[in-house]
Every structure is written in C-alpha cells, then in structure tokens.
Structure 1
Amino acid sequence: MTTLPIIHRPGTPSTSNAALLKKQTIARLLIQCPDRPGIVSAVSSILSDFGANIVSLDQHSTDPTGGAFFQRTEFHLEHFSAKRAELEEQIRAKIETPYGAQWQLTSAAQRKRVAIFVSKTDHCLLDLLWRQRRGELHIDIAMVISNHSDLAEDVRYFGIPFVHVPADSKDKSAMERTQLELLRGNVDLIVLARYMQIISDDFLQEVGVPLINIHHSFLPAFIGAGPYQKAKDRGVKMIGATAHYVTADLDEGPIIEQDAIRVDHTDSAQELMRKGADVERRVLTRAVAWHCDDRILRHGNHTVVF
C-alpha cells in the first residue's frame, strides 16, 4: 500500500463566513412511515413550536389508504445546533412513536465525507474531484482508494490522499481489511467511480455507510468486457448509464438515477464509449449530489428522490 503526499493547490473555493453561518441555520428532516392522516400537521406543528420556518417541503405517498409515506422538509431555525437535541426528542415523541416513523435530521452545513474507489478509468473520478473543488458538490472527498496506481498523480494534483491497495485475485480479504481500516469512522459515503472489483458481502456488512455505483445501462445485456463493442456489433440505438446503491445482489441495488442518449450506425465503438462516459459522469454526479443533499429515501429496492 502506498500513499502519496497531499499538495494543496491554490484556487480552491472557500465558503464565506456569512454563507457558512446561513447554512448552519438550515436543517433537513426526512421521514418515512405508513401513510395515515395527521403526519404533515404533526411535523409542521413541531417545527412551528420551535420557531422554525419551512423553506421547502416535498412528500409522496404510494397509496393514501395503507401505503407508504415519504417527506423531506428543509427549514430555517436560528441556533439549530443548540436546539437540536430538544427537537430530536420531540420528533421521537410526536412522530416516531405515534406514526412508527423512521427519520433523519441533518444540518445543511455538515458536509458529507466521501471516499472514492476507482481502478484505471478516470472520467467519473476526475469529474467528481473537479466539481468538489469548484464547490458544485457540497462534499469533502476524504480519500481515493484504488487497486491500481495509474491515477495517483491525477488525484495528487487535487490535494486529495490517494491510497493504492492492490488486489489479490486469489484472496481479496486482505485488501478489504486494509480498506476498512482506512474508512472506519472517516467517511459517510463510498462512491464506486468505475471500480472494477466486486464488493464482498462481508465488506458491505462491516463498512457501515452506503455505497453508490455507476455502470453502463446495457446490463444485463452485453455483460463483461468490451460492452461498447458488443453494443456496436448489435446495432444499438440508445446508450446510457445507471447509478444505484450497492447491495449484496450484484448490480441490483436501488436505482438512484439513469439517463440515456440516442446513437446511430455512424458511431464507432470508440465514439459510443466516449458518449457513454459523458452520460456516466452526469448520472453519477447527480446521484452523489442528491444523496449528500439528503434528497433520497430508500424503500425496499426502490428510491424516492425529492
């Protein structure tokens, strides 16, 4: 395992004190529970009692009679940090217990700590690094972990720690133990930015944070190596990408985002690959942004994205 030193580059955007103070007064409440009358009123009453002002509210019900209810509320509350514990107590008493709700309360000022896993392909990785540096993604990239050293210099330029953890094709347990040591307690999300290794069930059970993966939308067709050449040979008319949460079932986790573009007979396999990379970048960036802005609620093998 090798680690390259961090180089701090000038020009990284910083959040002004005024903007930071403003974010510290914005909070988000996510709720999901069986649908029944009174939930929206109960949430609004709690926030009103605390002097909070709701600035955004989205909700969805799968069925008004016996379905599942989902709600994302963003609100402004002066001195949120000081009032947070009391607010959580009221949510437990008036929402969780009577409605059987699962809920999450977060501060907009708290940036998610993200680790990126990558192999040799750079387009998704570099897009995330660039957007984070420009302030387009409200995240802190804590580290990049790779089973190859090819992208070390690219990552080093952004001032992000790069860790090379080689994979043993016969036994990946040592690699995953090293990864877990690096990750444990240090990240809130792992992004697989074209990481060409299968994640084991043991790793998923131990890591304790969500994982988001990106892949082309040809699956289950054209599986394995050279999917774009296979797609070219088959004469496909559309290509796309899918971002999803990682589960023990390979490439079958809850879908977060998808997109597609039209192609035609004039496109070579190389051109299909280039266009596919563009779609993958966009789809993965949106999925990461939505997750880190607390816009996604998971329901079984589905997602509700507000």
Structure 2
Amino acid sequence: MRQPEYILTLSCPDQRGIVHSVSGFLAQHGCNIIDSAQFGDAQSATFFMRVHFAVEDSSISDAALREEFAALGAGMQMSWQLHDAHHKPRVMLMVSKIGHCLNDLLFRYKSGLLPVEIKAIVSNHTDFYQLAASYNIPFHHFPLAAGAAPEAKQAQEQKILDIVEANDIELVVLARYMQILSPAMCDALRGKAINIHHSFLPSFKGAKPYYQAHERGVKLIGATAHFVTGDLDEGPIIEQDVERVDHAMEPETLTAIGRDVECVVLARAVKCFVEHRILLNGHKTVVFK
C-alpha cells in the first residue's frame, strides 16, 4: 500500500515561528515533508505556505491529523486546507465555437499530463459533441440565443449549475466559452472557475484583440488565465505568457500564435489549481511553482 500523501496550504498573519510550528507538527505526527514553499507578503503582512508531505506513521488517521492541526491553525489565525495529494479533482469544461483550448486540455487529460477527472463538457453550441464523444465524456448542449431575456439566461445558467452539483465539480474551466456569466453565476463558482482571456491583460479588451493588436503594431501578444469574478476579465490573475511578433505578420498569423499561447497558459493554470499551488492574496494570487 502506498503511503497517504497530503498537500497543506495555509495563509495567516505573518509572525515568527510559522515554518517551525508547521514542520514540527508534521514531524511529531510521523510525517515526512516532500517539498515545501512559503512567501511572506510585506504589504499585506500575510504569510503563505504550501507543504507536500507523506504520512509514514500508519497509526495517524486522517481525522486525527485534521483535528490536531486545527488547534495549531486556530492559535496562529490560519486559514488552511488539507488536500489528499492522490485525489484527482473533478473538472467541467465549457466551450463555445473555438475549440483549441478544449482540444489541448482533453489531450493533456487523456495522456496523463493533467491529473484530473473531466466529468462533463458544456457548450452553448453543438460543434464539439463528437470530440467529447471520442473521449467518452458527457456533452451538454445548453443554447442561449443572442439578446436572450434575463429569465432565459438564468434558466440556462441554472442547468449548468445543476451539472456542477450533480457531478460534485471542483473546477470549472472556461475554455473559450464566449458568454458573459451573470453575477449570480460568478458568485456560485467563486474560487473554482478559471477563464482564459485571449489577450495579455489589461489591454486590448473586447472583440478581436489580435486585430486590435495588429492595428497598434504591437511587438508582443499574450494570454491571461484568471479566476472568474463578477468584474469582467478583472479576476485574480493565475498565469500569463507572451510571444514576440513583428510588423510583417498578418492578423491571422497573430491569431494562430495567440491560440498556441492560450493553450499553454490555460493548461498551466489548471495544473496549478489541481496541484493546490494557488493561494488568494486579496485581489492577487500567490502561485507556488
């Protein structure tokens, strides 16, 4: 039998002795630290930590570990979570009519590069139902007409949330889902929905960003993965990347390059999430590599 492994993530007011207290607790409870990372933010006076460890003492139960760490956490005002490192989070993908990010995530999932279980694919179009079927993943088509009444949008979003609840979804990935989520939907998915923005935020917002970039003669294009919030494209940033371009490239070339960047950035963000490497720091994130 393999040893139980956990990932502990925490944040608390910065103070002396946090690392000593956590590592001491783990040592006293028969645990061996595999890797650890920490960061103290001077501006917010907050300390962040991620520890991956194995439980080598078979007499230590999961319940006892959590109960006894809770006492330590309370004493240091910690906000903490203890995750089973072997657990594969349940994920739902959402897409519209542009499928490069969807296709990339499905390939990474099938090849074992993303440690997740993709339980459903949701779309407001039918373009990718055959792709979903080829991976044996349920495909849910919930259309929403342009200019639909608020009641119709609410009903469509409720169907999506029903899928989330029925499958106990832990992460929703908007893989180029080209619908603005309502504030109520954003609240329901707070902290567990990631969007890929086809631009290097915060610039060139709106339609056809690569055409805007071409008109401005940019020399770098990029993509941004961020948490979904009620403020459109303003959620805490998780991952970004750029590619250098030049004056000789047409908008179609920029689009092709940009789509490659989007795939990589979104996959990195999803991997960071499922490996519990992202901690919120106000409107920003701490992402441990």
| TM-score bracket, shorter-length normalisation | over 0.9
Describe the shift of the 1:177–1:267 C-alpha distance in structure 2 as closer, same or farther (beyond 3 A). same
Describe the shift of the 1:208–1:250 C-alpha distance in structure 2 as closer, same or farther (beyond 3 A). closer
How far did residue 206 of structure 1 move? 2.9
Q: Which amino acid letter does the alignment assign opposite residue 51 of structure 1?
A: G
Asked if 1:243 is matched to 2:222, the reply is: no
* Secondary structure of 2:97's aligned partner: coil
Describe the shift of the 1:229–1:275 C-alpha distance in structure 2 as closer, same or farther (beyond 3 A). same
Q: Which amino acid letter does the alignment assign opposite residue 85 of structure 1?
A: A
For residue 240 of structure 2, the aligned residue among 245, 253, 258 is 258
Partners of 1:86 and 1:187 in 2: how far apart?
A: 27
Q: TM-score, normalised by structure 1?
A: 0.88
Describe the shift of the 1:80–1:166 C-alpha distance in structure 2 as closer, same or farther (beyond 3 A). farther
Describe the shift of the 1:80–1:265 C-alpha distance in structure 2 as closer, same or farther (beyond 3 A). farther
Asked if 1:140 is matched to 2:140, the reply is: no
For residue 223 of structure 1, the aligned residue among 205, 220, 225 is 205
Instruction: Report which stretch shifted further, 154-163 or 140-149.
Output: 154-163
Describe the shift of the 1:270–1:111 C-alpha distance in structure 2 as closer, same or farther (beyond 3 A). same
Partners of 1:37 and 1:74 in 2: how far apart?
A: 21
Q: Residue in 2 aligned with 1:7?
A: none
Asked if 1:44 is matched to 2:28, the reply is: no
How far did residue 268 of structure 1 move? 0.9
Matches within 5 A, 1:271-282: 271-282=253-264
8 Å CA contact 2:99, 2:128 repeated in 1: yes
Partners of 1:211 and 1:28 in 2: how far apart?
A: 21
Q: Which runs of 5+ in 1 are unaligned?
A: 1-20
CA RMSD of aligned residues (A): 1.8
Partners of 1:50 and 1:231 in 2: how far apart?
A: 55
Q: Which amino acid letter does the alignment assign opposite residue 179 of structure 1?
A: I
Partners of 2:275 and 2:44 in 1: how far apart?
A: 29
For residue 302 of structure 1, the aligned residue among 279, 284, 287 is 284
* Secondary structure of 1:159's aligned partner: coil
Partners of 1:202 and 1:66 in 2: how far apart?
A: 29
- What percent identity do the matched residue pairs reach? 45
Partners of 2:9 and 2:39 in 1: how far apart?
A: 12
**Which consecutive aligned stretches of 4+ in structure 1 deviate over 6 angstroms post-superposition?**
79-82
8 Å CA contact 2:90, 2:118 repeated in 1: yes
Partners of 1:163 and 1:221 in 2: how far apart?
A: 33
Partners of 1:80 and 1:265 in 2: how far apart?
A: 63
Q: Which runs of 5+ in 2 are unaligned?
A: none
Q: Residue in 1 aligned with 2:140?
A: 163
How far did residue 220 of structure 1 move? 4.7
Q: How many residues align?
A: 283
How far did residue 128 of structure 1 move? 0.4
* Secondary structure of 1:184's aligned partner: helix
Partners of 2:201 and 2:10 in 1: how far apart?
A: 32
Asked if 1:175 is matched to 2:156, the reply is: yes
Partners of 2:233 and 2:44 in 1: how far apart?
A: 30
